[in-house]
Amino acid sequence: MRIIINDRKVHIMRERKRPPAHPGRIIRNHYLQPLSISITDLARKLGVSRKTISKILNERGAITSDMALRLSKAFNTTPELWLNLQNTYDLWYAVHNSKDWQKVQSITIPACLPG
């Protein structure tokens, strides 16, 4: 899903009915299970605690910039992949679980200001 702010209106593109997968689910289903890697082994290879990896895999923890760098090196991907997965997940839940953001009024920007 993409949110585009244009002409002071918010447009939500490609509305998803189902939530996107948490990055932890992707790690578990596409890397750990097929490669037979344990949580302990992954934690050791990434240089983080088992608890940190467990929280992410159980969808109770988020991918940080540091973790994205570690995952990208370990799985030969890019850090942007992991950050985009997390951002998409977080944004979907923000849009669907909170309506307070819709009450925010746009700020009029004078035409004489750059931008």
More confident residue, 81 or 3: 81
User: Is residue 73 within 8 Å of 88, Cβ to Cβ?
Assistant: no
Nearest to 27 by CA among 69, 59, 1: 59
Residue 6 has pLDDT above 60, yes or no: no
Q: Using one digit for the tens of pLDDT, what is the confidence trace for 63-86?
A: 999 999 999 999 999 999 999 999
Which pLDDT band, with edges at 50, 70 and 90, does 101 fall under?
Answer: confident
The domains of the chain, with CATH numbers, are: 2-99 (1.10.260.40)
Q: Using one digit for the tens of pLDDT, what is the confidence trace for 10-64?
A: 555 566 788 999 999 999 999 999 999 999 999 999 999 999 999 999 999 999 9
Which residues are 3's β-sheet partners? 12
More confident residue, 51 or 103: 51
Rounded to two decimals, what is the model's pTM? Answer: 0.79
Give 46: exposed, middle or buried? Use CB within 10 Å, 0-12, 13-18, 19+.
Answer: middle
| pLDDT for res 38 | 98
For tokens 């799985």, name the residue.
75
| pLDDT for res 110 | 83
* 13: its two tokens: 């593109």
| DSSP of 19-32 | PPPPHHHHHIIIII
